[in-house]
Structure 1
Amino acid sequence: MYNGLINVYKEAGYTSNDVVARLRGILKMRKIGHTGTLDPDAVGVLVVCVGNGTKLVEMLTDHDKEYIAVCRLGVTTDTQDMSGNILSESDVDVTSERLREVVKRFVGEYDQIPPMYSAIKVGGKKLYELARAGKEVERKPRRVSIPSITILDDSRLSSDHIFTMEIKCSKGTYIRTLCNDIGEALGCGAAMEHLTRTCVGSFHLDTAVTLDEIEKRRDEGRLDEIIYPTESIFRDLDLCIIKDSHRRLLENGNGFKVENILKETPDDEMDHIDDSELYEDGVRVRVYSEDKTFFGIYKYDKRLESFKVEKFFYQP
């Protein structure tokens, strides 16, 4: 049984669910989930949670993401990328200056209409199921946030009508739709040609590992090198080490009082408690037993003068 997070490099041709299915075979366990769908043709970072790390799926799905997208002007498709059926083709007369001017309009917040080929449900049906049946339904726009868009390469803009951009965005942003909307604003249409997800929260492309590499490390007994501890996602929080005399109550999901905290940590490598900040109402801490077992995230309730469980990760 493994617990934690794996930064998987999703290769083209795999769905996100395909990645989970193969990992279940590699790790011989069922409790695995991914933190944000990538289209089959897209590549890059797919953070996968295993064991007690699956309790982080929703939290990690909310993290901001970064992408590098290749966009082709002068064409629109039913999927908003080049894997779909072409709906229209247009002449392109777009300068580098014009492209940058239009792209700037999408920096910040804007209302984005999700594509028909997406997993969003309308009336209990996934949109892509309706699209495959030849149906199109009205979709409500969703407010997304895009802190920055950077044009990385427009050297093929005049010849092949292609440019490459880097996008930093909030959850729920469809890059295919962003490409489509940029093309619409330019008056010539556009579709996404290629997509790489380079970052999800603190997980980056340069540390992502392929499924084949994960399988190889399993055979070599080196999986611990690529499975990040569940608590690593909370490393910005202060920690508390609880006295062994209170451990049984922790194991049963109970909170703890200030007097249950071990004042001196037994390992110099573990941070010491900052008492001046620890007992403020609402402060969150990560909690360990004396043998360094991670129990979860607890929040201080000043009125009750105790810490209560916010997210419990302990597994006997």
Structure 2
Amino acid sequence: MARKRKGRDISGWLIIDKPAGMTSTAVVNKVRWALEAKKAGHAGTLDPEATGLLAVALGEATKTVPYVTDAMKAYVFTVRLGQATNTDDSEGEVIAESDKRPADDEIKAALGRFVGDIMQVPPKFSAVKIDGQRAYKLARDGEDVEIAARPLWVEELVMVDRPDPDHVVLEMTCGKGGYVRSIARDLGEVLGCYGHVTELRRIWAGPFDVEDAIGLETVEELARTPELDAYLRPLEDGLGELPELKCTAEGAARLRHGNPGMVLASDVEYGEEAWASFQGRAVAVGTYKGGELHPTRVFKP
């Protein structure tokens, strides 16, 4: 008989402003402890030294994680020009240097190469799997890691500051799977001066914005109190990228049992993914077909 997981049946999102020097998993564990939650996860890993928005899902909200993970995201990051590292960030060893420092106009012109549909090779020190093993583990073991390029949609990449000749601050909006470290590395190669990331901050992801986030010090201060619960956002917030369909009480009952349920007429097209709500609460996510939603994920009431 399976052991019953301890904790509260609590569902929703807690939006965290992650500090540097902490893994995303450690942040999730801290939040789960503070809220005494049975289940928790996050929507998109941040490197340990990165800061900014980390959306932590609790309970039934974990079923909506893919829709936030797949959504557009935005980052502000600083590139150190003149140096390449083996990790493409400041945590690694410097492996190449250059005295060249491009002018602002050169940098702005080069950024256009990284906008739109591009092919990107992830960093060797990344969580990409190669023959079942993480690339970073192979790289740490001294193996020569070859990672295939993969497609990435970059909506926008702009220069926002040039604090000194050695550094440039950029802001990027991109789709799922983008590596900021790869952008810094490849930009340095295009400019002929090398480059790596020194600071990285995620400022928004899908429906969530870092301006609405709380710090871990608040989580620790209010741990296991109703005051921390008040910061929870509804699981429905994680479905903001999908169209909503309202359903009747009968339709909601059928959906909750995993059966197709009738939904009210809308402009959602046949075969489109959507979510159904009853009295403002999410019932299920599924595929819309001829007046019904065919559920793929069902939420406990």
* TM-score, with structure 1 as normaliser: 0.85
**1:165 maps onto 2:155 in alignment:** no
1:240 maps to which of 239, 242, 246: 246
Structure 1 CA distance, aligned partners of 2:255 and 2:214?
A: 35
Structure 2 CA distance, aligned partners of 1:287 and 1:252?
A: 15
Structure 2 CA distance, aligned partners of 1:162 and 1:280?
A: 48
**1:287 maps onto 2:292 in alignment:** no
Alignment of 1:123-202 (within 5 A): 123-157=131-165, 161-202=166-207
- The one-letter amino acid of 1:129's match is K
- Displacement after TM superposition at 1:85 (Å): 0.8
CA-based RMSD of the aligned residues comes to 2.2
Structure 2 CA distance, aligned partners of 1:298 and 1:143?
A: 27
SS of the residue 1:105 aligns to: helix
Structure 2 CA distance, aligned partners of 1:35 and 1:285?
A: 19
Question: Which string of whole-angstrom CA distances, capped at 9 and with x for unpartnered residues, describes residues 225-282 of structure 1?
Answer: 3211112333563442423x66654442223346xxxxxxxxxxxxxx6x4x368634
**Contact 2:252 / 2:283 at 8 angstroms: preserved in 1?**
no
SS of the residue 1:71 aligns to: strand
Alignment of 1:265-304 (within 5 A): 275=265, 277=266, 281-282=270-271, 284-288=274-278, 293-302=281-290
**Contact 1:287 / 1:298 at 8 angstroms: preserved in 2?**
no
- The one-letter amino acid of 2:293's match is F
What is the identity percentage for the equivalent residue pairs of Structure 1 and Structure 2?
32
How many residues are aligned here?
291
- Displacement after TM superposition at 1:285 (Å): 4.5
2:95 maps to which of 87, 90, 107: 87
Q: Determine the structure 2 residue equivalent to 1:44.
A: 52
User: Which protein is bigger by CA-based radius of gyration?
Assistant: 1
Change (3 A) 1:116 1:212: same
SS of the residue 1:231 aligns to: helix
- The one-letter amino acid of 2:64's match is L
**Contact 1:294 / 1:314 at 8 angstroms: preserved in 2?**
no
1:209 maps to which of 208, 214, 217: 214
Alignment of 1:11-90 (within 5 A): 11-90=19-98
- The one-letter amino acid of 1:242's match is T
**Contact 2:255 / 2:295 at 8 angstroms: preserved in 1?**
no
Question: Which string of whole-angstrom CA distances, capped at 9 and with x for unpartnered residues, describes residues 55-105 of structure 1?
Answer: 112221111110001111110111001111111221023111111111222
Q: Determine the structure 1 residue equivalent to 2:297.
A: 311
Q: Determine the structure 1 residue equivalent to 2:259.
A: 254
Alignment of 1:80-119 (within 5 A): 80-119=88-127
Structure 1 CA distance, aligned partners of 2:212 and 2:63?
A: 22
Structure 1 CA distance, aligned partners of 2:105 and 2:251?
A: 65
Structure 1: runs of 5+ lacking an equivalent = 259-272
Which shows bigger deviation, 217-226 or 192-201? 217-226
SS of the residue 1:197 aligns to: strand
**Contact 2:13 / 2:56 at 8 angstroms: preserved in 1?**
yes
- Displacement after TM superposition at 1:205 (Å): 1.4
